[in-house]
Amino acid sequence: MAFKSKIKWVALFVLTLSLASLVAHLSMTKFSSMNLVQYSAKEALSHDFPNTGSPTRRNKRLWGAVRSLESLQPHANPRSSYPVPDENTNGFIYAKIFGGFEKIRSSICDLVTISRLLNATLVIPEIQQSTSSKGVSYKFKSFSYLYDEEQFIMLLKNDVNIVKSLPEYLKAARRRSEFPTFKPKNSASPNFYVKEVLPNLKKAKVVGLIVTDGGCLKSILPPSMSEFQRLRCRVAFHALQFRPEIQILGLRMVERLRASGQPFLAYHPGLVRDTLAYHGCAELFQDVHTELIQYRRAQLIKQGIINDSLSVDSHSRRENGSCPLMPEEVGLLLRALGYPSKTIIYLAGSKTFGGQRLLIPLRALFGNLVDRTTLCSKTELSDLVGPEAPLPADIFRLPLPKSEQQLIDQWKKAGPRPRPLPPPPDRPIYQHEKEGWYAWILEKDKEPDPSPMEHRMQVHRLIWDALDYIVSVEADALFPGFNNDGSGWPDFSGLVIGQRLYERASSRTYRPDRKTIAALFNITRDDMYHPKRDWMLSVKEHLNRSLSEDGFFRQSLLSKPNSFLSHPLPECSCRIPSVETTKQIKGKDGRIVFGGEEECPKWMELARAEGARNDDMESAEDDNDTVEQLEPDAVDATSSLTSLIDHDEEWDPND
């Protein structure tokens, strides 16, 4: 009996301690939750860089300009006889543009070029992604949702006649579809428009174009049409200005990134569902994302866009360089280059397929990974979209119950005997199991139509991409996770690279060869976080070579045949004569893709000479600086990485 009483006292004591521990934890949770503060990128950056606003010396190896490209200058002005368009044109061209941000920007440039080619008056194109039927604010038309109409018309007045809408006497006929309409391919030749479209334009005075593939004119035009190539540059890099509200907030984001006095790097993952499905990269993902990519790939096969089997080896595609670099791999590449863990990285891209889960390794390597949501307040972002009508309530309704006869018929039509086991006991079925991905992937063969909220989010992504575009162009360095994919569609990173190449060719823009990078990772796949010295040196050599002529050559061969705007050389640039002679690089077709630029006008040479003197004075002061003063602890950053290389040791980013 005494033994049993002791057990009771011990049990009572343990129960009392458990209750006391539970009460203590609940009280701690209650008081600690009141002190939770929402993450703020500005506060985090000011904590990492306390000397906010003070100038810091930059490590030239990480942020310096590419010397061999400094002689390239933007020069898209006409070089030969270029008459102003006559008011008496052959007629009007109106167009409907389908697609996202990249396709819209490229398509508008082609439409202006075609209007000049046919001596036609261009009606400001309709962007179908942002029409009133998609629920955009009443303040904007489709074109003005993204771009400034007045600037667009004014800056192209010497190139093309542009009007905001058709004359009143032609609008009714257009509503009745009385005018001929064409749906050209993105690789349509100028002869197609001269022989097929121009006769109809002269006859009907109005012609409609439907642009769906991110363009309606072939990228590489004959040398005799170099002025039309320069017109594309004037449209993309000068006339297509975002509306003032977008420009102001985009530049404000750049100021906030540089408020700490530190440079920043822009990174675009390029993880887009359509692109992943086109190249067959489904197996690089897990769970439901693989099913989503495969479903989209099946759709592209049915549409005739892909002439390949549904199931492919994604890992072989990755080794071939067709799949994007994963964020984890990009983080390791940047650390191998010498970028410290406190480097400010701006994450571009309105949507990363795969979600935040894929970004966890990159955030672990670089704590200052920010995007528009951490740089801007909700009010600033909501002001850009303007006042929108409230969406109807999305109320979930259970399916109608089946009658007894329907259940009997369903039982008779069941699979072969023996019958399956009876279902398990009823349990609560949550709403997420009946909606969205899980429901249609497991129970239906057809993807459900987008909800009103999804339509609205697609429209908003145009604005988010515009903000990311502004920040990426202004970034001190750019690292694309995916570009030059060869699918024929323009991509975000390609357009950003093209504009940076046009405005500042010497800006630090990495152009990695994904096939080479995949081979390098295969060497150290088992020790990715402990790479050897030789591996790091190989990564550095490849990425540094991608900054200059080697990267130019690859980009011209892969990008220019699909999108002229991603490599607008040599038509839209000029070269200031320098002491160093630049060798000419020719493509497969014999055309000069680098080194064949014309000499710049004298006034540009004088301005460049004065700027070069100032740069030389700054570089002379920084030549002795081998370590960037980016973070106070010398253990992290480039100095620790250099010491590891010197001692031929393994690298651990946590050290």
In three-state secondary structure terms, 382 is helix
Question: Can you give the pLDDT at residue 615?
Answer: 53
Q: Which two tokens stand for residue 111?
A: 């439409």
Per-residue pLDDT tens digits for 9-18: 878 888 888 8
pLDDT in tens, 597-626: 788 887 776 656 555 555 555 444 444 443
Select, from the ranges 201-215, 515-529, 582-596, the one with the highest average predicted confidence (pLDDT): 201-215
- φ and ψ at residue 480, rounded to 5 degrees: -85, 135
Look at residues 38, 7, 5, 57 and name the one whose alpha carbon lies nearest to residue 618: 57
Closest CA to 346 of 257, 283, 433, 226: 257
Does 270 or 487 have the greater pLDDT score? 270
Higher pLDDT, 24 or 360: 360
Give the strand pairing for 264-268 and 477-480: parallel
Predicted confidence band of residue 281 (pLDDT cuts 50, 70, 90): very high
266 forms beta bridges with 346, 478
Distance separating alpha carbons of residues 142 and 502, to the nearest angstrom: 28
Q: What is the pLDDT of residues 91-127, one digit of tens each?
A: 999 999 999 999 999 999 999 999 999 999 999 999 9
Query: What's the rounded Cα separation, in Å, for the pair 112 and 122?
Result: 7
Q: Output the CA–CA distances (angstroms, integers) from residue 77 to 81, 105, 122, in the order listed.
A: 11, 20, 21
Tell me: the pLDDT tens digits for 161-177? 999 999 999 988 898 88
| Residue recorded with tokens 């057809």 | 446
> Which regions of the chain carry the CATH code 3.40.50?
92-241
Residue range 462-487: average pLDDT?
Answer: 92
pLDDT above 90 as % of the chain? 46
Over residues 284-297, the mean pLDDT reads 85
**CA 2 → CA 6, 414, 486, distances in Å?**
6, 65, 84
Residues of the chain with pLDDT > 70: what percent?
79
Lowest mean pLDDT across 58-62, 198-202, 353-357, 432-436: 432-436
8 A C-beta contact, residue 529 and residue 336: no
Confidence band (pLDDT; 50, 70, 90) for 32? low
Residue 187's alpha-carbon distances to 183, 220, 489, 563, in angstroms, are: 12, 9, 11, 10
pLDDT band (50, 70, 90) for residue 427: low
Q: What is the pTM of this model?
A: 0.84
Tens digit of each residue's pLDDT (9 = 90 or more) over 556-586: 888 888 889 998 988 899 988 865 556 666 6
Please name the helix (run of DSSP H) or strand (run of DSSP E) that holds residue 73, with its range, or none.
strand 72-74
Maximum average pLDDT range among 107-111, 274-278, 432-436: 107-111
Which of 11-25, 145-159, 280-294, 442-456 comes out lowest in average pLDDT?
442-456
State residue 6's pLDDT score.
74
Question: Alpha-carbon distance 15 to 31, whole Å?
Answer: 25
CA distance 257 to 263: 8
Determine the pLDDT at residue 649.
35
Closest to 517 (Cα-Cα) out of 571, 463, 479: 479
Q: How far apart are the first and last CA of the chain?
A: 60
C-alpha dist (Å) from residue 267 to 166, 341, 344, 348, 460: 41, 15, 10, 6, 21
Mean pLDDT of 201-216: 93
Q: How confident is residue 334, by pLDDT bands cut at 50, 70 and 90?
A: very high
Confidence of residue 476 (pLDDT cuts 50, 70, 90): very high
pLDDT tops 50 at residue 354? yes
> Is the previous residue joined to 418 through a cis bond, with omega within 30 degrees of 0?
yes
| Amino acid at residue number 174 | R
Question: Across all residues in the chain, what is the average pLDDT?
Answer: 83
**Per CATH, the architecture of 92-241 is what?**
3-Layer(aba) Sandwich (3.40)
Question: Which range has the worst mean pLDDT, 79-93, 143-157, 379-393, 424-438?
Answer: 424-438
Over residues 404-421, the mean pLDDT reads: 74
Q: Poorest-confidence range of 30-44, 259-273, 397-411?
A: 30-44
Query: For residues 349 and 590, which has the higher predicted lDDT (pLDDT)?
Result: 349
pLDDT digits (tens, 9 = 90+) for 506-561: 999 999 999 999 999 999 888 888 888 899 999 999 999 999 878 888 888 888 88
Render pLDDT for 215-270 as a digit per residue (tens, 0 to 9): 999 999 998 999 999 999 999 999 999 999 999 999 999 999 999 899 999 999 99
- The model's pLDDT over 303-317, given as tens digits with 9 standing for 90+, comes to 888 888 988 999 999
